[in-house]
Amino acid sequence: MQCRFFEEQLSNDAPLSVEQRQKLEAHTLHCSSCAALMTTDETLRRAHMLSPADGFVARFETRLALWKAAERRRKLLGIIPFSVLGFALLLWLAWPYLDGFLTWQAQPISVWLQWGAFLLATALTSLRASLVVLGVLANFLTPLLWMAAISGAAGLSLISSISTWRLIRASQGT
């Protein structure tokens, strides 16, 4: 346990106090592991740092960019075959179920499509007929009569809303 304390002190880059240094030296007299670690630490602290050669950073960045591009290509080329094979396997395993489902669903889908086309055609025809009738009525009625008809329809709508509101309100209370 005592070795761990000294190993942590040697691993940190913080300078040791005089008292800590004396305790460490006393400990290294009988602990060969900590003595070797202390010698290595002192050797590394005395070593002279060299700067990289000219152009090293540019060459390294270029090689790193090329390596990343090659790695991306390898990953992409690895994903494509696995994806295609996985999809083919899934389709092969699910085909008996898909075949039955698609043939069973074909008739209801065609009925729904025919019904939708019929409703769309009926709505468009009714709209065209309504526009023709309104165009004819527009020539027969004066603007004053149109205003009276629209106001009457709005009044009927208001009376209907109030009646529904009163009916709902009366049935809820005691």
Mean of pLDDT values over 136-145: 80
Question: What local confidence, expressed as pLDDT, does residue 1 receive?
Answer: 44
Distance (Å, whole) CA 18 – CA 10: 14
**Cα separation, 111 vs 98, whole angstroms:** 20
C-beta pairs of 50-53 under 8 Å, 24+ apart in sequence: none
Q: Which residues contact 27 (CB under 8 A, 6 or more apart)?
A: 2, 3, 6, 34
| Percent of the chain surpassing pLDDT 70 | 92
63 or 168, greater pLDDT: 63
What integer pLDDT is reported at residue 20 of this predicted model? 81
DSSP string, 68-106: HHHHHHHHHHHHHHHHHHHHHHHHHHHHHHHHHHHHHHH
pTM of structure: 0.29
pLDDT number for residue 172: 57
Q: DSSP letter string over 111-136?
A: HHHHHHHHHHHHHHHHHHHHHHHHHH
Q: What is the pLDDT of residues 64-90, one digit of tens each?
A: 999 999 998 888 887 888 888 888 888
Is-contact 36 7, C-beta < 8 A? no
Give the tens place of pLDDT for each residue, 34-46.
Answer: 888 888 888 877 8
For residue 154, is pLDDT > 90?
Answer: yes
